[in-house]
Amino acid sequence: MRFAKVPKRPTDHISNEELMHDLILLLKDVVAFESTLAQTFIHNGNVKANGNGNGSKNGNGNGNHLSENDFASLSAVVQKITDLHLRITKRNLDIDDILLDASRQVGIDLRRLLDDSLKFPNVVPYVHNLQGQRRLFLCYCGENEAHDSSGLGLCHQCLEAALECLLEKKKDNKFILYSSYSPQVRCRHADFSTLLITLNKPGLWPPAWCEICLKQEKQRLSG
Ligand SMILES: [Zn+2]
Ligand SMILES: [Zn+2]
* 189 pLDDT above the threshold of 70: yes
pTM for this one?
Answer: 0.74
Lowest mean pLDDT among 40-49, 82-91, 125-134, 140-149: 40-49
Q: What is the pLDDT of residue 148?
A: 81
Distance 211 CA to ligand 2 centre (A): 6
Distance 94 CA to ligand 1 centre (A): 37
Distance 21 CA to ligand 2 centre (A): 49
Distance 86 CA to ligand 1 centre (A): 40
The Cα–Cα gap between 70 and 168 comes to 47
For the residues of 92-121, what is the DSSP string, one character each? Answer: T---HHHHHHHHHHHTB-HHHHHHHHHHTT
Distances (CA, A) of 167 to 72, 139, 152, 161, 204: 49, 21, 18, 10, 24
The Cα–Cα gap between 52 and 117 comes to 21
Percent of the chain beyond pLDDT 70?
Answer: 83
Q: What is the pLDDT of residue 204?
A: 86
Distance 190 CA to ligand 2 centre (A): 6
Closest ligand to the CA of 207: 2
For the stretch 69-113, pLDDT in tens is 888 999 999 999 999 999 999 999 889 999 999 999 999 999 999
Q: What is the pLDDT of residue 10?
A: 60
- The β-bridge relationship of strands 196-199 and 175-178 is antiparallel
The dihedral built from the CA positions of residue 147, 148, 150 and 155, taken in this order, carries a sign that is positive
